[in-house]
Amino acid sequence: MTQTLPTRDELLAQNGVLLIVDDILPPSGPVAKGGTPTVRPMELGLFIAIDQNSRVYAFNGHVDLGTGIRTSLTQIVAEELDLQMDQVTMILGDTERAPNQGATIASATLQISAIPLRNAAAEARRYLLQQAGQHWAVGVDSLVIESGVIKAQDGRELTFGQLLVDQRVELRISGNAPLKRLEDYKLVGQGAARVDIPGKATGELTYVHDMRLPDMLHGRVVRPPYAGYDTGDFVGTSLLEVDESSIAHIPGIVRVVVIRDFVGIVAMREEQAAKAARELKVTWKPWRHQLPDMSNIEQAIRDNPSIQRVVLDQGNVDDALAQASERMTRTYLWPYQIHGSIGPSCGLADYSEEGIRVWSGTQNPHMLRADLAWLLEYPEERIDIIRMEAAGCYGRNCADDVCADAVLLSRAVGRPVRVQLTREQEHAWEPKGTAQLMEVDGGLNADGGIAGYDFSTRYPSNNSPTLALLLTGRVEPVATMFEMGDRTSIPPYDIEHMRVTIHDMAPIVRASWMRGVSALPNTFAHESYIDELAFAAGVDPIEYRLRYLHDERAAELVRATAARADWTPRTQPMQIPEEDGVLRGRGFAYARYIHSKFPGCGAAWAAWVADVAIDKHTGDVSVTRVVIGHDAGMMVNPAGVQHQIHGNVIQSTSRVLKERVTFEESTVASKEWGGYPILTFPEVPKVDVLMMPRQAEPPMGAGESASVPSAAAIANAVYDATGIRFRELPITAERILAALNGAGVESNSHPPQSPKARRSKWLFGSLFAAFGALLGMAATALPWRAEIAPITPPAAGTWSSATLERGRLLAAVGDCAVCHTAPTGASNAGGLAMQTPFGTLYSSNITPDPETGIGNWSYPAFERAMRDGISRDGKHLYPAFPYTAFRNIEDADMQALYAYLMSQTPVNQLQPVNDMRFPFNVRPLMAGWNALYLRNGEVQTQPQQSAQWNRGQYLVNGLGHCAACHSPRDLLGAEKGGTSFLAGGTVDGWEAPALNSLSKAPTPWTEDQLFNYLSTGYSDAHGVAAGPMGPVVSELAKLPKSDVRAIAVYLAALNEPVSGSADARPATEARLAERPSVSPQSLSNGQRVFEGSCQGCHADGLGPKLFGVSPSLATNTNVHSTLPDNLIKVIQQGIDKPATADLGYMPGFKDSLSNTQISDLAAYLRSRFAPNEPQWTGLPEKVAHLKANLGTH
Amino acid sequence: MKADTSELPRAAEKTVTLNVNGQTTRVTAMPDTPLLLILRNDLHLNGPKYGCGLGECGACTVIIDGVAARSCVFPLAGAQGRQITTLEGIGTRNRPHPVQQAFIDEQAAQCGYCINGMIMTAKALLDRNPHPTETQIRNELSANLCRCGTHLEILSAVMRAARHQPSPDSVQ
């Protein structure tokens, strides 16, 4: 463990040691615009220490953020000293050990920070060989080192340690010790297994989260309500009162610590601290008076004060643009995004007057130490930051904040305190990757050349002081301006007339550097724009770039990447034939990440070819494959570089397609993964990496570069697929669909050619032109969302034999099999050819095979198909299918029919492709269904009143007093009788559904389902008993099974279809006509929340198998109810006490999702899973009301 | 400056017997305490990680009675009498479980914070379905979040582990 390692001072004081040191000037932290760097005194940095036991310690001030630099740095040291990897102890970042080399930023560890370490290792090697040579009186050139043992030609051997016994040698890095020659490398340049993975894969102590001290207490903080703001006069001044009595009931509370707006709790146990933090009553002053309007990010950025800085002005841009033959001004907007470390930040502090130790996952240990010294007014040299690994961060997350929190709490209680931030705190408060606004004014000359390029960018970042400094008032919460928006602000193209302007500005919400700092958004603009110029000029976009790309190394990369991807030149979009409503496209982008203070220095070069697929009907977009070329110079660990490239491709694809911080009332609303979904396994593209062989060149940072072309490459591919340019991220289904519906795929205005011209080409030549492009495109399955979610086929025995018999008869009456069975085929497996005047149509497979039949159709999907002629996946069925007649089928009959069809033996048989197009009519085939109308008005037989029925009636109406909840009450609170008896009621805010009309549930309740539900609390056709019904089921478990059966018999009998069907559902059109509209934004937001928060457990068979039941929402009673109450209450409160033990648990989301998010989620669930029901009204008010009135269940 | 905590009330706490990695332990805590915190703080296990507390990300995954479970939303009270297995319970550095070995072989971690959930979910899948398709693996891991973008290596690791499962013919 790290604390057993010697410190720098211990090693410096030790005997029997070789020390390689250097005087270093600690780098300043980020410097505000116009400010001067804080000059710190020179320090003695220790880089290598070898002791007389041959232990080799190597030190680097940068830390491993999950990128594998610990492994690469170990390779470098082991290489120079001819050691095995495991003979080197690599120490990163600890302030008492490692040299202060500044923050781990800009992917600069191997490019910059590793250089002194390598020189130090060479220095040590030179010294050790000299000593051995003298010892044996032989020439140094005759000696070799193998695995840390120096060997003479005559076979004599000395270990490093033997040369150091009782010596104390301290050498400075001279810089002239010979480095090993490239051709002698054994380790560097070879793929090396990461040294940290075995421990991580087996649960060894690795992360700061795992660090424990004896006597350690647990802390939590309560953050102010101004989520995500760290500037403004309300910061640090808004606390009114903390009521400690509000947590008096919680055991183990040690101390509540309040310093201005800093509020923390220390408890004996972690869950006690967590509960107390949730329940502590804290009152804040009003503070919203001066927030920017974050509902319009572009305007918020424009309104943010800025200072203009022109970093390039060549030629005469204004004159050149005035003479352009085609002027194009474009605006690009990048959203706020989060780093989203999978583990919320954690820190452990042990405060005493003598010294402070802090175990931290910080990105910049030495800066943190200075912050803590300032916070505590404590001598910096007595603070020891011990750097441990943490969940990956891709810039500044809350790792420093939490350490400051921990040290304040430890100081208050005099014991070590571990503080764990919550997911919600990390999301809300981490310094965001900032939004950014880019504008380009440019255009073409008549010859298709670039007339001029006038680029400006606004980057509202980059400070984010450690939060406790602001909350306690140690640092004033003033907005500070930094010069960080200039990374890759100059495009890589040699354009004669070009101007680049940076509008430096302070952050708006708390923001700091995030992977690809400002270069990624700037490149989104550059590379989208040049793509647009190329198409406007009628030139292939890669060829067009190469005309202006005069960095030969870059051009070589571009050509190699294009070749690897089988790029086919193109001058027009939409050349790949549409297939099943899927539009495909391919886009290119290139960039080099230029980082650090302007003009900066370049990291690796990268080029992308991205393939996308878009569902024309839903707008769903997938990146199916990425070919990426990458030139990082010499790669210390090529396997590590490839891993970084993969990570960059996947993460940036996620950022481009999905990621956007949402704000409500100007504060951060994305507080968990539903409010901020990221790319998941089914959505991950195939990635083909081309690494340029450049082992003779200096190493270039590879931690960020591969991300930089991402957004433009994907946006260009979307343009290729649709003809529409997207200049605002993320490129979501909602935005694509809106654009497709608005502009129309065929009528996009941006390409210069007319739609007519494009169409004629489509007809006559496009198939051949696109063939090559298709070859290069992976046939990756698309994660389409169906219009109605697929379900797992219902288990055998879902329906009663009576229902099945009824369904069988109905199917017979309806003659299903007549059309749905091929002459020699299995019954209902489809494939019957039906000749029509317009061609041949084949009937579909209506056996419950999930792949080729209707096995994954929920009842609502089936019903919609029958009544409205819409297939489960949202496609229109051909009108040969007589849905116009079917829509009159009574619900009970429809349900029985569904039950019967779903209970058949599944047959896996794909229907032949229809040999005809739309439209047609086949009246003669529809005749057989007319008989179904006759089912209306059917006379029902009264159920036999058996002994079991009577026992059930007695239990329900007597002992069970079901009516207490399940009957409505009159004004005096009495249960209503007569027709209202068991007609449904409300209890504790929960809807108790009607028991006399259970068959109105989306899937009809059967006696067996009732029995199962009442026995276990769960029916896969209806859902889970929640709220007050949970305990009821728990109680029922005490009854003999025969009594539960009797209840089921009685309730089932109540629901036999009633003669006359007076309350039959209105026709679908009428019901849908009543549907209040829900905005696409709400549904889109609800879908985000569903996918991030809910889908893991409610994936209808397409997700993981997790403990307990995974209820389908497609059949869930609550989703189909007239009232949204039960659904909302379950979302808010979860199910922490299930009716029976094996059901599993559901967390409540009331503290994690906003009211708006829950309201949008409910609307989305209703829309997706109960499409035949009218949308609920007044959802936002209902959600707010139920949150304010949680009740007792 | 030590805080005096000797007389703090503990009325709401209960003692529960747990079976974790084949060992029986008794712990005393509030019954609604997430199992995750018990495993980490009382049993000093590092494998299961706190990621979201909402069952969304999978970092806390353990195996309970043979099924993958999100220990951050699994209350202590519900764990009594069940067989709980954590990452530590399936293998060690010197004797890794085949799924752990596959993750090591495929270098399937960057920061590695999610790796516990990936390994435990994959193990539960392979125990149930020794030869899943890539699509089945992707679906099974669809609610296990990775931020570093290690998905491709993780998929390779699970497929490698699946290749080392007994072939269907040898399974009785």
The pLDDT, as a whole number, for residue A1076 is 63
Is A904 a residue whose pLDDT tops 80?
Answer: yes
Q: Is A933 an 8 Å CB contact of chain B?
A: no
The alpha carbon torsion through A23, A28, A29, A33 (nearest 10 deg) reads -160
Q: Is A17 an 8 Å CB contact of chain B?
A: no
Query: Would residue A327 count as lying in a domain?
Result: no
Average pLDDT over residues A704-732: 97
Please report, as a single letter, which amino acid is at residue A292.
Answer: P
Average pLDDT over residues A1034-1045: 81
Q: Domain range spanning residue B108?
A: 98-166
Q: Domain range spanning residue A372?
A: 208-290+339-429
Domain match, B103 and B148 both: yes
Domain match, A479 and A423 both: no
Domain match, B41 and B74 both: yes
Could you tell me the pTM of the whole model? 0.83
The pLDDT, as a whole number, for residue A923 is 31
Domain match, A513 and A498 both: yes
Domain match, B54 and B83 both: yes
Under an 8 A CB cutoff, do B152 and A199 touch?
no
Residues of B in Cβ contact (< 8 Å) with A271: 29-30, 33-34, 37
Domain match, A1183 and A1086 both: yes
Domain match, A679 and A577 both: yes
Q: Which of B54, B138, B149 sits opposite A647 (nearest CB)?
A: B149
Average pLDDT over residues A106-127: 86
pLDDT, tens digit, for every residue of A667-677?
999 999 999 99
Q: Which residue of A lies nearest to B2 if distances are taken between CA atoms?
A: A414
Domain match, B18 and B82 both: yes
Under an 8 A CB cutoff, do B111 and A251 touch?
no
A1091 to chain B nearest CA, in Å? 9
Is A705 a residue whose pLDDT tops 60?
Answer: yes
Place A34 in a pLDDT band, splitting at 50, 70 and 90.
confident
Query: Would residue A487 count as lying in a domain?
Result: yes
Query: Would residue B36 count as lying in a domain?
Result: yes
The pLDDT, as a whole number, for residue B6 is 43
Report the SS3 class of residue B4.
coil
Place A783 in a pLDDT band, splitting at 50, 70 and 90.
very low
B64 to chain A nearest CA, in Å? 7
Under an 8 A CB cutoff, do B45 and A203 touch?
yes
The structural domain count of chain B equals: 2
Residues of B in Cβ contact (< 8 Å) with A253: 8
Query: Would residue B1 count as lying in a domain?
Result: no
Distances (CA, A) of A78 to A83, A84, A188, A231, B94: 5, 6, 9, 47, 24
Domain match, A757 and A834 both: no
Residue ranges in A747-791 assigned as alpha helix (H): 755-764, 766-775
Query: Would residue A122 count as lying in a domain?
Result: yes
Residues of B in Cβ contact (< 8 Å) with A194: 107, 109
Under an 8 A CB cutoff, do B3 and A414 touch?
yes
Q: Which of B6, B42, B54 to mutate to test the interface with A (most CBs of A within 10 A)?
A: B54
Under an 8 A CB cutoff, do B37 and A271 touch?
yes
Under an 8 A CB cutoff, do B50 and A209 touch?
yes
Domain match, B29 and B80 both: yes
Domain match, B80 and B104 both: no
Interface predicted TM-score (ipTM)? 0.94
Q: Which of B63, B90, B117 is the last residue of a domain?
A: B90
Place A836 in a pLDDT band, splitting at 50, 70 and 90.
low
The pLDDT, as a whole number, for residue A890 is 72
Q: Report how far residue A637's alpha carbon sits from residue A547's, in angstroms, rounded to the nearest whole number.
A: 34
Domain match, A742 and A862 both: no
Domain of residue B72, CATH code: 3.10.20.30
Domain of residue B139, CATH code: 1.10.150.120
Query: Would residue B149 count as lying in a domain?
Result: yes
Under an 8 A CB cutoff, do B113 and A392 touch?
yes
Average pLDDT over residues A559-564: 98
Q: Which of B62, B141, B142, B144 to mutate to test the interface with A (most CBs of A within 10 A)?
A: B142
The structural domain count of chain A equals: 6
Residues of A in Cβ contact (< 8 Å) with B71: none
Residues of B in Cβ contact (< 8 Å) with A1134: 73
Give me A996's structure tokens.
């006399």
Report CA torsion sign: A519, A642, A685, A654. Answer: negative
Is A709 a residue whose pLDDT tops 90?
Answer: yes
Tell me the DSSP string of B75-130. Answer: BHHHHTT-EEE-HHHH--SSS--HHHHHHHHTT--SS-TTHHHHHHHHHHHHHH-S
The answer to whether A14 and A41 have CB atoms below 8 angstroms apart is no
Tell me the DSSP string of A634-659. Answer: S-SSHHHHHHHHHHHHHHHHHHHHT-
Place A924 in a pLDDT band, splitting at 50, 70 and 90.
very low
Under an 8 A CB cutoff, do A197 and B135 touch?
no
Domain match, B68 and B28 both: yes
The pLDDT, as a whole number, for residue A835 is 60
> Which residues have a Cβ under 8 Å from the Cβ of A109 and sit 6 or more positions away?
A60, A62, A69, A72, A73, A701, A703
Q: Report how far residue A959's alpha carbon sits from residue B150's, in angstroms, rounded to the nearest whole number.
A: 58
> Which residues have a Cβ under 8 Å from the Cβ of A417 and sit 6 or more positions away?
A216, A217, A218, A219, A266, A348, A349, A406, A409, A410
pLDDT > 90 fraction of chain A, expressed in percent and rounded = 64
pLDDT, tens digit, for every residue of A233-287?
999 999 999 999 999 999 999 999 999 999 999 999 999 999 999 999 999 998 8
Query: Would residue B7 count as lying in a domain?
Result: no
Domain of residue A68, CATH code: 3.30.365.10
Q: Which of B40, B63, B90 is the last residue of a domain?
A: B90
**Residues paired with residue A22 on neighbouring β-strands, in sequence order:** A45
Q: Report how far residue B139's alpha carbon sits from residue A690's, in angstroms, rounded to the nearest whole number.
A: 28
The pLDDT, as a whole number, for residue A764 is 33
Tell me the DSSP string of A397-463. Answer: -SHHHHHHHHHHHHHHHTS-EEEE--HHHHHHHSPEEPPEEEEEEEEE-TTSSEEEEEEEEEEE---
Q: What is the mean pLDDT of chain A?
A: 87
User: Which residue carries 């209820």 as its tokens?
Assistant: A1111
Under an 8 A CB cutoff, do B10 and A1152 touch?
no
Q: What is the mean pLDDT of chain B?
A: 92
The pLDDT, as a whole number, for residue A863 is 83
Q: Is A850 an 8 Å CB contact of chain B?
A: no
Domain match, A194 and A159 both: yes
Query: Would residue A780 count as lying in a domain?
Result: no
Q: φ and ψ at A784, to 5 degrees?
A: -65, 145
The pLDDT, as a whole number, for residue B4 is 43
Residues of A in Cβ contact (< 8 Å) with B151: 646, 650, 679, 681, 684
Domain match, B60 and B117 both: no
Query: Would residue B21 count as lying in a domain?
Result: yes
> Which residues have a Cβ under 8 Å from the Cβ of A586 and sit 6 or more positions away?
A565, A567, A576, A609, A610, A611, A612, A717, A720, A773, A776, A777
Query: Would residue B5 count as lying in a domain?
Result: no
The pLDDT, as a whole number, for residue A1142 is 93
Query: Would residue A218 count as lying in a domain?
Result: yes
Average pLDDT over residues A1066-1073: 47
Query: Would residue B42 count as lying in a domain?
Result: yes
Nearest to A141 by CA among A171, A112, A92, A178: A178
In this structure, the number of other CB atoms found within 10 A of the CB of residue A148 comes to 19
Under an 8 A CB cutoff, do A680 and B145 touch?
yes
Burial (CB < 10 A; 0-12, 13-18, 19+), residue A289, is: exposed
Place A814 in a pLDDT band, splitting at 50, 70 and 90.
low
Residues of A in Cβ contact (< 8 Å) with B80: none
